[in-house]
Amino acid sequence: MSEPIQLSDITWESFNAMDVGAKGRYLARNNREYHVLVAQQFTRNRLEELGALATAIRRISKQEEGMTFLRSLLANHRAMLYFSQPSSRTFLSFCAACEILGLNIGEVRDTSTSSEFKGETQEDSVRTFSSYFDLIIMRSQMGGLAERMAWLLSNTERPVPMINAGSGKDQHPTQALLDVYTLQRSFEKRGSIDGKTIVFVGDLARGRTVRSLAWLLTNYRDVKMIFVAPPELQIGDDILALLKGAGVSFELMSEFDRAIPLADAIYMTRIQDEWDAPGEKRKIDISRFCFTCDKLPMLKSDAVIMHPFPRRQEISVEVDADPRAVYWRQMRNGMWIRTALIAAIFGKEHQINDFFARQGG
Ligand code: NCD
């Protein structure tokens, strides 16, 4: 068998210029994830395996013996969380995931407290982390930075895996994993994600979660996507071109009420006005794109409402009490799927599945 291709086999210029779908081939080692950088690196089969692993971990952790087993798996490893962009859920769920597996963690969340403040480049910062840690989990407001850093690390004598925990406006692959896991669980009794209609609402132009999730959904058969947004926040042509290329059917709408009855899942998002130029906060009226209680009767009885969070006014708090509102569960799913992903990166998947099988599944 020929050796698998790795990031160290290619120049940065060639990797960077490559079609995103082709990048995945460079991100695996030993037939499993090594770097996790783009949603496009996951196949349907892998999404199902990771979902099953997350469920095994969730069930195992219900018992003390299971918790002790999980905690022993990576007790000799350390993870660095390098989050130079604000985060609550992604950061905390990665911390919790590391703790479940026994990894110790270090963090930089405010670069004014690190040597970057003294003029150190991000490249040198990341190489420094790799001297002390076995995994780097990174969030940055710069699109493509995690890819660049992963390439850089792969070309040093101490390469460590890199997980992209959100990069600029372009990618948030682990959010997409937890969103797909939530959809898998929500549709468990209704077949699968195949054939479902997913309605995306809000700031689709700048929301990286929508971009990564829309791509992951192309792995399923006959999924229809409906994008509902004011014209200035509608989904980018690049994603639409990818969807077209993948043969996915989609529709753009500006009227939310028309989309609601068609949905099997509604994916709400907030306005990402942190991307507006300073002093140029655009006043966009999104009142027509909010999910309020009066919309509940329009929604199918077995549909689900999701949101990556944080939310503002786009879902009223009163909607939380409806059983179709699954966003709090979705958030917790993030911890399980991230635990599964880290376990998989370090080759612990079989051990977990064996333990789960011994417990009677
Ligand atoms: C999202 C993000 O950071 O892209 N949040 C998250 O990771 N759960 C969505 C957002 O900030 O609106």
| Mutate-to-test residue for ligand 1 from 93, 174, 209, 313, highest number of ligand atoms within 8 A of CB | 209
| Radius of gyration from C-alpha coordinates of the chain | 20
Q: pLDDT > 90: what percent of the chain?
A: 89
pLDDT at residue 1 above 50?
no
Residue 319: pLDDT band (50, 70, 90) is: very high
CATH class of 173-331: alpha beta
- Alpha helices (H) along 155-196: 173-186
| Mutate-to-test residue for ligand 1 from 84, 89, 90, 179, highest number of ligand atoms within 8 A of CB | 90
Judged by average pLDDT, the poorest of 166-170, 272-276, 348-352 is 272-276
Reading the block at residue 20, the tokens are 């995103």
| Mutate-to-test residue for ligand 1 from 84, 93, 164, 172, highest number of ligand atoms within 8 A of CB | 172
C-alpha distances (whole Å) from 330 to each of 32, 279, 297, 333, 337 are 25, 34, 22, 5, 10
**What is the CA(69)–ligand 1 centre distance, in A?**
32
Average pLDDT, the chain: 95
Please give the Cα distance from 255 to 269 (Å, whole number).
16
What is the Cβ-side half-sphere exposure of residue 264, based on CA atoms within 13 angstroms?
19
If one counts every other C-beta atom within 10 angstroms of the C-beta of residue 318, the result is: 11
Which tens digits make up the pLDDT trace of 66-90?
999 999 999 999 999 999 999 999 9
Please give the Cα distance from 185 to 105 (Å, whole number).
30
Q: Is residue 38 a contact partner of residue 23, using CB atoms and an 8 Å limit?
A: yes
**What is the CA(178)–ligand 1 centre distance, in A?**
12
Question: Residue holding tokens 């799927």?
Answer: 337
> Which atom belonging to ligand 1 lies closest to the Cα atom of 165?
7
Residue 361: pLDDT band (50, 70, 90) is: confident
**What is the CA(39)–ligand 1 centre distance, in A?**
15
Q: Is residue 200 a contact partner of residue 264, using CB atoms and an 8 Å limit?
A: no
Please work out whether the CB of residue 140 comes within 6 Å of at least one atom of ligand 1: no
Q: Which of 114-118, 218-222, 276-280 has the highest mean pLDDT?
A: 218-222
**What is the CA(20)–ligand 1 centre distance, in A?**
21
**What is the CA(182)–ligand 1 centre distance, in A?**
16
Residue 283's pLDDT is 76
Residue 3: pLDDT band (50, 70, 90) is: low
Query: 120, 174, 165: which is closest to 146 by C-alpha?
Result: 165
Please work out whether the CB of residue 172 comes within 6 Å of at least one atom of ligand 1: yes
Helix (H) or strand (E) holding 226, with range, is strand 224-228
Residue 113's pLDDT is 81
Residue 185's pLDDT is 97
Residue 160's pLDDT is 97
| Cα 138–Cα 70–Cα 126 angle in degrees, nearest 5 | 20
Q: Is residue 325 a contact partner of residue 351, using CB atoms and an 8 Å limit?
A: no
pLDDT at residue 125 above 70?
yes
What is the distance of C-alpha 85 from the center of its chain? 15
pLDDT at residue 343 above 90?
yes
> Which atom belonging to ligand 1 lies closest to the Cα atom of 269?
12
Pairing of strands 32-33, 28-29: antiparallel
pLDDT at residue 240 above 50?
yes
Query: 339, 293, 295: which is closest to 319 by C-alpha?
Result: 293
Residue 133: pLDDT band (50, 70, 90) is: very high
**What is the CA(174)–ligand 1 centre distance, in A?**
11
Average pLDDT over residues 231-248: 95
Please give the Cα distance from 153 to 168 (Å, whole number).
20
Q: pLDDT > 70: what percent of the chain?
A: 98
Query: 324, 304, 303, 305: which is closest to 314 by C-alpha?
Result: 305
pLDDT at residue 30 above 80?
yes
Average pLDDT over residues 26-31: 93
Residue 110's pLDDT is 84
Average pLDDT over residues 230-238: 95
Average pLDDT over residues 41-70: 97
Please work out whether the CB of residue 211 comes within 6 Å of at least one atom of ligand 1: no
Paired residues of 82 in beta bridges:
108, 138
Residue 117's pLDDT is 80
Please give the Cα distance from 85 to 76 (Å, whole number).
28
Task: Give me the CATH code for the 7-171+334-352 domain, please.
Answer: 3.40.50.1370
Which tens digits make up the pLDDT trace of 259-314?
999 999 999 999 998 888 877 767 788 899 999 999 999 999 999 999 999 999 99
Q: Is the dihedral of CA 24, 200, 197, 338 positive or negative?
A: positive
Q: Which part of the chain has CATH 3.40.50.1370? A: 7-171+334-352, 173-331
Residue 281's pLDDT is 67
